[in-house]
Amino acid sequence: MKSVSMPWASITARFPNLTELSHMNANKLVVAGVRAASISSMAILVAAGCSTMPRAGKSEPRTGDEIVAAGQMFHTGTRVVLWMDSGGYDAYRVERRFAPFNKSDWADTTAEVKTMKSPNRYGMRAAGLTPEQIEKVRGGGWDLPLLQDVVDQFVIHFDVAGTSRTCFQVLQDDRDLSVHFMLDLDGTIYQTLDLKERAWHATTSNDRSIGIEIANIGAYAKPGTNDLLAWYHQDPNGQTTITIPPRFGDGGERIKNFVGHPAHPDLIRGTIQGEDLVQYDFTPQQYDALTKLTASLCKIFPKIKCRYPVDAQGHLIPKKLPAAELKNYEGVLGHYHIQTNKTDPGPAFDWDRVIGGANKILKAESAEFPPRGGEQLTTGQ
């Protein structure tokens, strides 16, 4: 009988076809002769007979492009597999994902993997919260407005694992680390945790950021590096092709028999943290997915500005930001903007393709759905 005490506003919000009734208050209903129709008895009527009311046990279909922030789902327009989906990667689990099942629990894990210190590979975004807010959110009580106030950076990584499956194995089974998203070679995005969680991926920015690990074997000083030779070859047509080494099996790609090609056929050279590096580009499928995810995150989290760190001339800053600049920076950035010992996402990462593309999506959407005068902007829904 919970519906009896349900506020009228939430009833009408859930059942939009009752909008006309919602304009009447209880007094008007009495004047109209519906003497017995108090708000609570109307709720009983609604609960008993409204044909649009969801039936018990009715499934709520997903479109497969949703991400989760503070328990709410948001569309991205690109393929997303959540941690609770079949084939997903669940960073909430204490067990190792790829160890033999009878050796996967925490007791065996700590005995076998000395680097593992914590059964939880994530924490709470506590920095900057008041003691009252900490009491509220511990146990999972984040609401979206509070999360929107805390999250202002989106950190881009390459995984040096080559595929998302191996990436998750390293994070979850070997390293005691986590990240909100992984982006596989075929463009599939995996979300491993609700964005409310403090994932362990970017040291000083963990409290305020969302992170993504993009499948790519990484950047190196020399073109002849073994990892580059193992992961790329020229196919008979002279096209540069990603070859997942046999020890990784099929690589776990969501799209079976996917054959990936870097967006540019040649090694890309560039300088990160003052170091000359070469790297093969990401796949077009990865760029497409990341662009849509970036647009979605910038929409859901207004503090994440859709931009990357640039100097006074408007050029990408290819190294760690000075501490004060990093502290004030709100937007998209690379792991190398946060730490001097990191070079990801590397010289090949095409910032203009992602940020330019995401801004195009946001601009097109705001033209299609312009905010009305005086209307407070709501985000993400």
**Binding flag, residue 335, Zn ion (CB under 5 A):** yes
Beta carbon of residue 111, minimum distance to Zn ion (angstroms, whole number): 29
- Greatest pairwise CA separation for the chain in angstroms: 86
Q: In terms of CB distance, is 79 or 337 closer to Zn ion?
A: 337
Q: In terms of CB distance, is 157 or 198 closer to Zn ion?
A: 157
Beta carbon of residue 178, minimum distance to Zn ion (angstroms, whole number): 12
Give the strand pairing for 122-124 and 197-199: antiparallel
**Binding flag, residue 344, Zn ion (CB under 5 A):** yes
Q: Return the amino acid letter for 161.
A: A
**Binding flag, residue 194, Zn ion (CB under 5 A):** no
Beta carbon of residue 274, minimum distance to Zn ion (angstroms, whole number): 18
Q: Could you tell me how many residues of this chain bind Zn ion (CB under 5 A)?
A: 3
Closest-CA residue to 323 (of 303, 339, 311): 339
Closest-CA residue to 284 (of 213, 364, 353, 233): 353
Phi/psi for 210 (5° steps) reads: -110, 140
Beta carbon of residue 202, minimum distance to Zn ion (angstroms, whole number): 7
Residues 297 and 380: their CA atoms lie apart, in Å, by 8
Q: In terms of CB distance, is 148 or 153 closer to Zn ion?
A: 153
Stretch that binds Zn ion, among 146-154, 187-195, 315-323, 328-336 (CB under 5 A): 328-336
Stretch that binds Zn ion, among 27-35, 166-174, 288-296, 330-338 (CB under 5 A): 330-338
Closest-CA residue to 357 (of 298, 269, 314): 298
Place of tokens 């969501």: 254
Give the strand pairing for 189-191 and 181-183: antiparallel
CB 161 within 8 A of CB 173: no
Q: In terms of CB distance, is 339 or 359 closer to Zn ion?
A: 339
Q: In terms of CB distance, is 261 or 335 closer to Zn ion?
A: 335
Beta carbon of residue 54, minimum distance to Zn ion (angstroms, whole number): 42
**Binding flag, residue 180, Zn ion (CB under 5 A):** no
Beta carbon of residue 156, minimum distance to Zn ion (angstroms, whole number): 8
Interacting residues of 251 by C-beta distance below 8 A, sequence separation 6+: 162, 163, 165, 166, 185, 244
**Binding flag, residue 157, Zn ion (CB under 5 A):** yes
Residues 95 and 25: their CA atoms lie apart, in Å, by 54
**Binding flag, residue 152, Zn ion (CB under 5 A):** no
Q: Which two tokens stand for residue 138?
A: 């511990």
Q: In terms of CB distance, is 178 or 240 closer to Zn ion?
A: 178
Beta carbon of residue 159, minimum distance to Zn ion (angstroms, whole number): 8
Q: In terms of CB distance, is 157 or 180 closer to Zn ion?
A: 157
**What is the Cα gyration radius of the chain?**
24
Q: Which residues bind Zn ion (CB under 5 A)?
A: 157, 335, 344
